[in-house]
Amino acid sequence: MSPLLAKQKTPSDEATVQVHALSAGHLTLPERYFVHPASQTARRTVPSLAFLIQHRSVTGEVTRIVFDLGLRRKLERYSEPIRRHAATREPLTTDPDVVKSLAAGGLIPDDIDYVIYSHVHWDHVGEPGDFPQSTFVVGNGALNLLRGGSDSLHGSHSFFEADLLPPTRTIELSNPDLATNAGSSRSGNSKPGEPDFHQPWKTHGDLPRVIDLFRDGSLYIVDAPGHLPGHINLLARTGLKKFVYLAGDACHDRRIMRKQKEIGEWRDSEGHICCIHADRTLAEKTIERIRELERKGVEIIFAHDFEWEEDPSNAARFWGPRL
């Protein structure tokens, strides 16, 4: 049994969060860029899921987090290189977006305390300007990408916007590879139940680097390297011995999880070998850790998880009436 599920019960084991899916657009993926082997013409329309996580502290205070914002409502609001790439992902829809999906359950952007990005690819960042009161949280290395600090990424999906996030309302997590990192050695909050993004990364069960965000075992930020610098996942406890793992773009197709397919690669116009993952070796290690969690009873949901979305039993897990 997984250490996540088998550890001795403590008072904090009662702490849980509510997790609801949010519709945040759909796009169409050419399979050859994501899985191997694949037909040159095979295409699949997939969601770009976002999630609403709600945590109630022992004092009754509710913290609301949105994990990813999906597709931007107005494509013309993307930079020109991203718009050109988005044109290759048709059919593409942006209605409903995250704001409309939140409204279906009675929430507005000002109700959201934090927006946590799994990573900063265009189909996950949405429209940050819709959330003028929220604090944005990104994994370590994401801000460098936004500033154009990496020249090793290839492919038309590897464009980023330097002005994406408001500097005064953005937290970049500390480097999980540096155990003695000054940023990770400090803690901004001392009360269990309050979010603390500045605490050290620690080992938790099968996961080598996590942050116990509320320090009550209800929600963990998980270092999930491979897809893109700063790629992070969330592990949420939603009930007694019940966990949901929000896996972002750690994997784009469950056939890879089932070992029916491999991760795809292709050559760009300049002859570079490209992969949807910045570091394929690290991505495969992350996928194997996720496989192990799934084998031990943790529910896994990927950002582009069309199998999960199409399962009728999951319709009630969206926030508000299904749009």
Mean pLDDT of 234-245: 96
Bridging pattern class, strands 273-275 and 265-267: antiparallel
C-alpha to C-alpha distances, 278 to 65, 89, 144, nearest whole angstrom: 27, 20, 14
Return the pLDDT at 38.
96
Q: What is the mean pLDDT of the chain?
A: 91
SS3 state at 208: strand
Return the pLDDT at 295.
97
DSSP state at residue 257: H
Return the pLDDT at 158.
78
> Is residue 227 included in any domain, yes or no?
yes
List strands edge to edge, sheet with 202-204. 202-204, 207-212, 219-223, 232-239, 242-246, 299-301
Neighbouring-strand partners of residue 35: 263
- pLDDT above 60 for 185: no
> Is residue 53 included in any domain, yes or no?
yes
Mean pLDDT of 301-310: 98
Return the pLDDT at 180.
44
Residue 271's pLDDT band (cuts 50, 70, 90): confident
> Is residue 322 included in any domain, yes or no?
no
Return the pLDDT at 86.
96
What string of DSSP letters covers 116-179?
Answer: E-S---HHHH--GGG-TTPEEEE-TTHHHHHTT------STT----TTSS-GGGEEEPP-TT-T
- pLDDT above 60 for 179: no
Residue 215's pLDDT band (cuts 50, 70, 90): very high
Residue 8's pLDDT band (cuts 50, 70, 90): very low
CATH at residue 31: 3.60.15.10
- pLDDT above 70 for 186: no
- pLDDT above 90 for 248: yes
Return the pLDDT at 268.
81
What is the helix (H) or strand (E) element at residue 254, kind and residue range?
helix 254-257
Whole-prediction pTM value? 0.92
- Phi and psi at 97, nearest 5°, equal -95, -175
User: How crowded is residue 140: how many other Cβ atoms within 10 Å of its Cβ?
Assistant: 22
**What span, in angstroms and rounded, lies between the C-alpha atoms of 196 and 186?**
10
> Is residue 300 included in any domain, yes or no?
yes
Return the pLDDT at 56.
96
- pLDDT above 70 for 3: no
**Tokens representing residue 305 in the block:** 């998880």
Q: Which residue has the tokens 């309302």?
A: 169
Domain span at 14:
3-317
Neighbouring-strand partners of residue 18: 54
Mean pLDDT of 255-266: 96
The tally of CA atoms less than 13 A away on the side-chain side of residue 169 is: 16
Mean pLDDT of 58-85: 96
Return the pLDDT at 11.
44
**What span, in angstroms and rounded, lies between the C-alpha atoms of 183 and 250?**
25
> Is residue 122 included in any domain, yes or no?
yes
CA nearest to 111, candidates 95, 94, 124, 98? 98
**What span, in angstroms and rounded, lies between the C-alpha atoms of 156 and 144?**
18
Residue 10's pLDDT band (cuts 50, 70, 90): very low
> Is residue 135 included in any domain, yes or no?
yes
What pLDDT, in 10s, does the model give residues 106-163? Answer: 999 999 999 999 999 999 999 999 999 999 999 999 999 999 876 666 566 779 999 9
- pLDDT above 60 for 104: yes
Q: In the chain, how many domains are there?
A: 1
> Is residue 323 included in any domain, yes or no?
no
Return the pLDDT at 189.
52
> Is residue 138 included in any domain, yes or no?
yes
Return the pLDDT at 161.
94
- pLDDT above 60 for 182: no
